Amino acid sequence: MPEVLLSEDDGAVRVLRLNRPEKLNALNTALTRALHDALLEADRDPGVHALVLAGSGRGFCAGADLSEFGHLTPDNPAAVLERAELTSRTQSLLRELSTPVVSVVRGAAVGGGAGLAIGADMTVVATDVRFGYPELKHSIVPAVVMTGLQRQLGPKLAFELISLGRMLTAREMLELGLANRVAGPGDLLDEGLRIARRWAESSPLAMAATKTLFHRVAELPYAEAMRAGRDVNVIMRGFRERR
């Protein structure tokens, strides 16, 4: 049986590739757990300074694998809770890692796949991307991905996407700030690697502090955010000597 997640190192850059192309890389429990564990493993590896998240085949990720929903019912509460916690942890990890992550996204990026796409620190999309949250069409609530979408888009447009199932193109994603770059499908991975290699040139300590502080100040009132920045400013003086 093929591995559901492929891992390959390019110097100090690790490429993680969702590998269920026949299912458009839909997130079943095995793939979700493999991705969760691989992200944590990469973050602990001192030789990995940046991550690229990609999908195999013609799509990035078609969201949750609906074929598993047959046993994820109120009659099996332990399995429902376990899967919900695993999904939530995995979606949150991209932001919580000290290692920066760039997602390279082509074809379908919907539901949980859309959450992974924009949950990365930077996102490169292909010209053929189809991005959105169609869960309500399947009587499913886009619960776990809602937080990240609201914070990146604001309430009005975020609600439009999740309530109407509106799909975004590459150009729309770029204009709305959900994507950093647009590339042709054949150039997508190379563009992601260019970003990741630039990150990998930086001090890992400085990069980790930058990423942590970036997300921390977003949640703080202005005065507290400035104090947090001041504290890191003091600490960073030792980074050059410790590199």
Active site residues: 135
SS3 readout for the chain:
CCCCEEEEEECCEEEEEECCHHHCCCECHHHHHHHHHHHHHHHHCCCCCEEEEEECCCCCECCECHHHHHCCCCCCHHHHHHHHHHHHHHHHHHHHCCCCEEEEECCEEECHHHHHHHHCCEEEEECCCEEECCHHHHCCCCCCCHHHHHHHHCHHHHHHHHHHCCEECHHHHHHCCCCCEEECHHHHHHHHHHHHHHHHCCCHHHHHHHHHHHHHHHCCCHHHHHHHHHHHHHHHHHHHHHC
* φ/ψ of residue 133, rounded to 5: -130, 85
What is the residue type of 12? Answer: A
Closest by CA to 90, choosing from 108, 118, 112, is 112
